[in-house]
């Protein structure tokens, strides 16, 4: 069995025998496409026999027979439709694989340049250069028939030619940590990080900036200082993906080729999602700890407020650090209480959701603080519009019967947690799930469709708490799995959904939520009961976590974050060494 990979989603091969089907299943293929009519030569297994073998091995089977040299539009349409709808990876075959690769080339013609298509098939061992006029004609025909359908490519830019071993999108918590974790395991690995900003931020510190504990300068470092030695930094924003040709398209149209791609661009703070918010941020008593520039303004407002109304808002989930909106509120209340002003300040928490915190075990401790501070909880109230100069905010309230109404609130200060979503270039890409996030397996963090793409951090589809704490555990998992895939083996490190949210309930005390998938409590230290406020957890947050972030996590020292590795499963994939050595653990 001679499998030739065209893209992470589809490979082609010469004639498969019935006995090859089980091997294909063990190599991770999910669908077989047979492009050969029955009875072309003696000894050829029939389509029915292959179908039965595929079904016995849990694979989908599709028969799109093609006569050699006579590929019709109908067959291309059928192949194209199959690729859009079936589960991948797909293994298509005919006598030599040429008909299958021809069908692929014509199927993707509306989306990819002829050059890219021909280069890709040539790399797989099929010289289809004679097909160029047909590819171009089909692309033109499809464009004419469906002008508004799909753009040919995000850029039309020229390929750079070089294919890096690993390209990482984003130099935030996820991108830097995973680069370091990979390099610790395999020094000299060819890694590129695509990151437009020249500063890296320790965002978890912004709650303490807003609470008057940290200086915002402590939360910022030059990007160049956190990019690991030996990693190439491309100072640009990624704009689109071309997973069929293993390329990322940058904003200026440049293309970067990769063997494995790691997608970690974080999420988008959607300030435009609240009418009037952008115009008034940073003035008129409107603040947010979600911005480096504004966290100090939170503390300024808190210090200056002597009486009046203070509102704190929380948008619909998912958001990064789901506890951050209430952390800002508790620290403000604690200050006002210590100053003897709390009785003169009406505090309300307007939460688009219906619960104070998603994991019930932590709610009783938080409720005690809500009561102590006299906070008015307003559930199912979503901030829709704000008028800074008039000091008014409007909320859409969803009632029990599902009907909605708008309520108006006046304020003296308001802390806004903005609505959040996947970045636009991810949402609009073939990597996204329906909600816009990078569609990855929750355990291996491997893309569900493109086996050489991984994602970690806030941009991923995994249902964990979107936190740096989660990234600390995800980075080693992705590092191991990327190296496995580069060696031609399937992923074997698994992530348990760990995330953590240190809820600053008062200055000096924290309720340390630590939990994994399904809300399972995952405390790191047996002696630290996260469901109770504790000064030890505050000490961890204030004194220990910054150096853990900067010097352990970002530098690839996997403190308390060693990945769970499943036993090695050797495969017979032609690209894989017969049985590779176990990967060394990071120090």
Comparing CB distances to ligand FAD, the nearer of 418 and 451 is 418
Interaction of residue 264 with ligand UQ1, rule CB under 6 A: no
Shortest CB 513 distance to ligand UQ1, Å: 8
DSSP-derived secondary structure letter, 540: I
- Tell me the closest approach of the beta carbon of residue 288 to ligand FAD, in angstroms: 8
Contact between 493 and ligand UQ1 (CB under 6 A)? Answer: no
- Asked if residue 502 binds ligand UQ1 (CB under 6 A), the reply is yes
Q: Kindly state whether residue 207 participates in binding ligand FAD, applying the rule CB under 6 A.
A: yes
Choose, by CB under 6 A, the member of 462, 500, 504, 534 that binds ligand UQ1. 500
**Number of residues lying near ligand UQ1 (CB under 6 A):** 13
Structure tokens at 449: 């469709």
DSSP string across 241-273: EETTTTEEEETTS-EEEEEEEEE----EE-GGG
Rounded to an integer, what distance in angstroms lies between the CA atom of residue 561 and that of residue 15? 46
Contact indicator for 440, 447 with CB cutoff of 8 Å: yes
Q: How far is the CB of 370 from ligand UQ1 (least distance, A)?
A: 21
Q: What token pair was written down for 250?
A: 């940058």
Q: Are strands 159-169 and 191-194 parallel, antiparallel or unpaired?
A: parallel
Residue span 405-424 as binding mask against ligand FAD, x where in contact by CB under 6 A, dash where not: ------------------x-
Among 150, 162, 197, 551, binds ligand FAD (CB under 6 A): 197
- Smallest separation, CB 533 to ligand UQ1 (Å): 14
Closest chain position to ligand UQ1 (CB): 469
Strand, helix or coil at 445? coil
Q: Is 555 helix (H, G, I), strand (E, B) or coil?
A: coil
Please confirm, yes or no, whether 501 is among the known catalytic residues: yes
Helix/strand/coil for 29: coil
> Is 206 near ligand FAD (CB under 6 A)?
yes
User: What is the residue whose two structure tokens read 């590092």?
Assistant: 479
* Cis preceding linkage at 318, omega within 30: yes
Question: Would you say 102 or 289 has its CB closer to ligand UQ1?
Answer: 289
Q: How far apart are CA 96 and CA 124, in angstroms?
A: 12
204 binds ligand UQ1 (CB under 6 A): yes
Contacts (CB under 6 A) with ligand UQ1, residues 139-198: none
Q: Which is nearer to ligand UQ1, 346 or 496 (CB)?
A: 496
Which residues between 542 and 571 bind ligand UQ1 (CB under 6 A)?
Answer: 545, 548-549, 553, 560
Q: Which stretches of 298-367 are assigned E, i.e. beta strand?
A: 308-314, 345-351
Site string for ligand FAD, 299-328 (x = CB under 6 A): ---------------------xx--x----
Give residues 326-345 in contact with ligand FAD (rule: CB under 6 A): none
Given candidates 311, 469, 554, 583, which one binds ligand FAD under the rule CB under 6 A?
A: 469
- List, in order, residues 6 or more apart from 118 with CB less than 8 Å away: 105, 128, 129, 131, 132, 135
Active-site residue (options: 333, 417, 421, 501): 501
Q: 189 has which bridge partners?
A: none
Residue that the structure tokens 């704000």 belong to? 386
- The reply on whether position 311 binds ligand UQ1 by CB under 6 A is no
Tokens 């249902």 belong to 463
One residue of 34, 452, 500, 534 binding ligand FAD per CB under 6 A: 500
Identify the active-site residue in 94, 321, 417, 421: 321
Q: What is the distance in angstroms between the CA of the first residue and the CA of the last residue of the chain?
A: 40
Measured distance CA(376)–CA(166) in Å, rounded: 50
Question: Cα(282)–Cα(479) distance, rounded to whole angstroms?
Answer: 39
Query: Residue 141 corresponds to which tokens in the numbers above?
Result: 């025909």
Compare residues 21 and 438 and give the one whose CB is closer to ligand FAD: 438
Please answer whether residues 287 and 416 qualify as being in contact, where contact means their C-beta atoms are separated by less than 8 angstroms: yes
State yes or no: is 421 an active-site residue: no
The label of the residue with tokens 């990945």 reads 563
Residues that bind ligand FAD (CB under 6 A): 169-175, 194-197, 203-204, 206-207, 237-238, 264-266, 289-290, 320-321, 324, 423, 425, 457-459, 466-469, 471, 500, 502
Residues that bind ligand UQ1 (CB under 6 A): 204, 468-469, 472, 500, 502, 514, 524, 545, 548-549, 553, 560
Catalytically active residues, by annotation: 321, 501
């Amino acid at each position: 069995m001679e499998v030739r990979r065209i893209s992470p989603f589809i490979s082609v091969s010469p004639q498969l025998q019935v006995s090859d089907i089980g091997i294909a299943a063990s190599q991770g293929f999910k669908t077989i496409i047979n492009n050969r009519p029955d009875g072309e030569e003696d000894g050829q297994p029939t389509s029915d026999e292959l179908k039965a073998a595929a079904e016995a091995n849990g694979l989908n089977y599709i028969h799109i027979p093609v006569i050699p040299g006579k590929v019709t539009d109908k067959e291309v349409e059928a192949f194209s439709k199959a690729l859009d709808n079936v589960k991948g990876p797909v293994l298509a075959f005919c006598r030599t694989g040429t008909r299958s690769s021809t069908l692929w080339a014509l199927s993707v013609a509306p989306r990819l340049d002829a050059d890219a298509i021909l280069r890709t098939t040539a790399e797989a061992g099929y010289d289809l250069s004679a097909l160029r006029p047909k590819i171009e004609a089909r692309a033109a025909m499809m464009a004419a028939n469906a002008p508004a359908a799909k753009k040919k490519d995000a850029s039309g830019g020229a390929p750079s030619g070089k294919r890096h071993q690993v390209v990482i999108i984003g130099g935030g918590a996820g991108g830097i940590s995973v680069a370091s974790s990979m390099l610790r395991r395999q020094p000299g690995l060819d890694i590129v990080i695509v990151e437009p900003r020249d500063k890296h931020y320790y965002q978890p510190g912004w709650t303490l900036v807003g609470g008057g504990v940290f200086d915002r300068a402590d939360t910022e470092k030059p990007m160049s200082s956190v990019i690991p030695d030996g990693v190439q930094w491309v100072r640009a924003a990624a704009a689109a993906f071309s997973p069929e040709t293993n390329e990322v398209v940058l904003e200026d149209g440049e293309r970067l080729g990769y063997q494995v791609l790691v997608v970690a661009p974080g999420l988008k703070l959607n300030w435009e999602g609240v009418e009037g918010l952008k115009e008034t941020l940073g003035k008129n008593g409107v603040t947010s700890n979600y911005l480096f520039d504004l966290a100090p303004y939170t503390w300024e407002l808190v210090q200056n407020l002597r009486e009046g109304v203070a509102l704190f808002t929380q948008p619909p989930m998912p958001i990064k650090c789901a506890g951050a909106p209430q952390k800002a509120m508790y620290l403000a209340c604690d200050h006002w209480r210590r100053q003897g002003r709390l009785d003169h300040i009406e505090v309300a928490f307007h939460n688009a959701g219906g619960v104070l915190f998603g994991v019930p075990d932590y709610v009783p401790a938080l409720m005690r603080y809500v009561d102590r501070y006299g906070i008015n909880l307003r559930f199912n109230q979503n901030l829709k519009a704000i008028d800074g100069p008039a000091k008014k905010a409007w909320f859409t309230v969803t009632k029990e019967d599902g009907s909605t109404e708008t309520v108006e609130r006046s304020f003296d200060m308001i802390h806004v947690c903005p609505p959040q979503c996947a970045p636009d270039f991810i949402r609009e890409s073939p990597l996204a799930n329906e909600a816009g996030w990078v569609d990855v397996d929750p355990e291996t963090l491997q893309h569900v469709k493109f086996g050489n793409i991984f994602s970690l951090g806030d941009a991923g589809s995994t249902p964990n708490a979107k936190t740096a704490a989660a990234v600390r555990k995800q980075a080693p998992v992705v590092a191991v799995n990327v190296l496995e895939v580069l060696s031609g083996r399937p992923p074997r490190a698994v992530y348990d959904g760990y995330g953590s949210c240190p809820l600053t309930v008062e200055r000096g005390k924290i309720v340390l939520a630590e939990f994994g998938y399904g809300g399972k409590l995952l405390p790191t230290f047996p002696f630290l009961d996260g469901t109770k406020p504790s000064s030890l957890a505050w000490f961890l947050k204030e004194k220990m976590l910054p150096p853990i972030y900067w010097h352990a996590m970002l530098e690839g020292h996997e403190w308390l974050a060693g990945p769970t590795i499943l036993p090695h499963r050797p495969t017979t994939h032609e690209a894989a060494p017969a049985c590779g050595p176990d990967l060394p653990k990071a120090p």
